[in-house]
Structure 1
């Protein structure tokens, strides 16, 4: 299901953001970096705040948001789950984000964390933009860099009035219904092929993928500069896996983060029937009764 999107363009180039900052028309710029080391063994999950790296170097006038403590549901055992919508609105207001706010998100990695927050904000009606190529692209262009503390918060011009999330998310019940053939939908794993097959160590309880899933690696949607591929390239990649897909397309990964980068790529390509399985494999693999599939060369 492809059509021209009616939402705001979800990307901003580094040069464009630098021009806005230089003209004194700065949007709300948030660094949402989280550090997540590769698994040394199955179940090795070690997220760390990116605040220290932000203080050493960041886009001028930006603030760091620690997703370990904000814009996530810290009351759940699952990491980085979306928070109750009322709390999200309150936290956004504290960051200067309200109705009509111009928001730019970036991270110091491969755009996955920025994409996660972009999807979260999109699901409550805030059309944020992701810095294409992230901070790496900013530095590669030798654009101005700041150090030190947060920029002052500018109160939003208008409050954000939201009482519920848009239908942008899927849960375990939804995914189970698709697996069992009781509901329409196409499951797509955004992890790398070796993680999809089960060949690589996983941060979660068990290796493999949810039965019936297709594989569209989030990282495959980026070019050599770390930016999203062109619209035409994204459509070709999506068509290779999704040309005969049944709607909705439910994206998942390990913890609902990389899946949002895949969502970003698909939205840019014109796809509009996307859901994110928020619990992803962290939730699915924790229940030994739920099935997983490994491919030849993978391991249980």
Structure 2
């Protein structure tokens, strides 16, 4: 699977639909302090020439979900991707301002709907230029066939509850940093902590010093918390189902074959006071 594309390879590509999917999330100052902003302003200031900005708060997201960034239906993904100019065979490249998490979220969403895409490894900081600013001419709307059913890359709350209670043998993995597992910093969501029974595999631990995704022995070493579970079901969660997609990307690149993302993550879980959260 070619999930990543280098800046040099993208520079040599002339027919790709390049999408900046950056969203800005402010660091929470107190529990429940959730503030998001479109990354469109950043895109207008500086972007890859010919790219378009997509606001993941409203596009490739279910507006009826009870939590942020709810997963869309495959049919919605197809319609919105076509509206951006995609036709069958169009190479799709996703990038963000550098965290890699937003591009990973979009990649996971498209992948679940059956559409191939690649992530610019390292995001915009890896792009060596040229750069553009201001508006770009919109591509003509394309068309895509009905993608059919979801490819099963998402998990829901009931499934995560069953894993946490030990009713099914799937592995539950938290993609947040250790400070969030310990509950020592404010959370954007209702309550601090992590879901009982989950392992720690922070998304940021899969990014190397150059800002690109780890590979080879470095990736294998970072994935050691789930070592030996290549063919076992793994469900990844985080705060809002975004960083979890970066961890899921790392797992897929590492050869893990049965990975799903808990879409609602702690955004949904922490809102129900009957569901337990623990600290470590």
Length-normalised TM-score, structure 2: 0.96
> Does 2:72 align with 1:83?
yes
2:160 corresponds to 1:160: no
1:18 maps onto 2:11 in alignment:
yes
Give secondary structure in 1 for the equivalent of 2:79.
helix
Superposed structure 1 runs of 4+ greater than 4 Å apart: none
RMSD over equivalenced CA pairs, Å: 1.4
Give 2:91's aligned residue: 102
What is the Cα deviation at residue 68 of structure 1? 1.8
Give the deviation of 1:244 after TM superposition: 4.5
Secondary structure of the equivalent of 1:176?
Answer: helix
Query: What are the Cα deviations for residues 202-222 of structure 1, in whole angstroms up to 9, with x where unaligned?
Result: 101111100000000000100
Q: Does 1:129 align with 2:118?
A: yes
Structure 2 equivalent of residue 36 of structure 1 = 25
Q: Give the match's secondary structure for 1:214.
A: strand
Aligned in 2, Cα 1:163/1:205: closer, same or farther, shift over 3 Å?
same
**5+ long unaligned stretches in structure 1:** 1-7, 296-300
Q: For residue 64 of structure 1, what is the aligned residue in structure 2?
A: 53
The number of aligned residues is 279
Q: What residue number does 1:4 align with?
A: none
Structure 2: where are the runs of 5+ without partners? none
Answer yes or no: is the 8 Å Cα contact 1:62–1:151 preserved in 2. no
Q: Name the counterpart of 2:2.
A: 9
Query: 1:214-233 alignment to 2 at 5 Å?
Result: 214-233=199-218
* Residue-by-residue CA offset, 1:176-230 (whole Å, 9 max, x unaligned): 1111222220000000111122111110111110000000000010011110012
| Cα displacement string for residues 242-271 of structure 1 (whole angstroms, at most 9, x for unaligned residues) | 125482110000000000011111111111
